[in-house]
């Protein structure tokens, strides 16, 4: 069981996917992230590993645990299942959805803020 929050964004699916998978962009839209080390030079893929720096200053290891190119990726942080990130094409844009594990619904407002930031970045 997961919980989710979604936002319709008037931007091409490819643009949103690029924001979601470029570790250098994560601090621009992720409220709880201040930095991230790239998984690999080629970008995210299933099994990719890296480090993510949080707003509390901790640098934690991450692993991409699910990956569907152009559509969905999920990860674990410090070995704990974290958010999923889905992009669904729609007329005039796409629907962007973040999922959280059953035990983390309190994180949904943070995800909603991230979606608003992604929409703002895509409008530039």
pLDDT digit string (tens) for 2-54? 899 999 999 999 999 999 999 999 999 999 999 998 766 667 999 999 999 99
Predicted TM-score (pTM) of the model is 0.93
pLDDT at 123 over 80: yes
Which residues lie closer than 8 Å to 88 by C-beta, 6 or more apart?
13, 71, 94, 95, 96, 97
C-alpha–C-alpha distance, residues 33 and 27, integer Å: 5
pLDDT digit string (tens) for 64-102? 999 999 999 999 999 999 999 999 999 999 999 999 999
Residue 38, pLDDT score: 73
């Amino acid at each position: 069981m997961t919980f989710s929050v979604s936002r319709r964004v008037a931007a091409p699916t490819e643009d949103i996917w690029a924001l979601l998978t470029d570790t250098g962009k994560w601090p621009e839209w992720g409220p709880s992230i201040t930095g991230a080390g790239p998984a690999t030079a080629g970008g995210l893929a299933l099994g990719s590993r890296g480090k993510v720096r949080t707003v509390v200053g901790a640098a934690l290891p991450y692993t991409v645990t699910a990956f569907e190119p152009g559509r969905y990726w999920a990860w674990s942080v410090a070995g704990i299942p974290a958010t999923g990130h889905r992009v669904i094409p729609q007329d005039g844009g796409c629907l962007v959805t973040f999922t959280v594990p059953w035990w983390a619904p309190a994180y949904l407002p943070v995800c909603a803020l991230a979606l608003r930031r992604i929409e703002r970045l895509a409008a530039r």
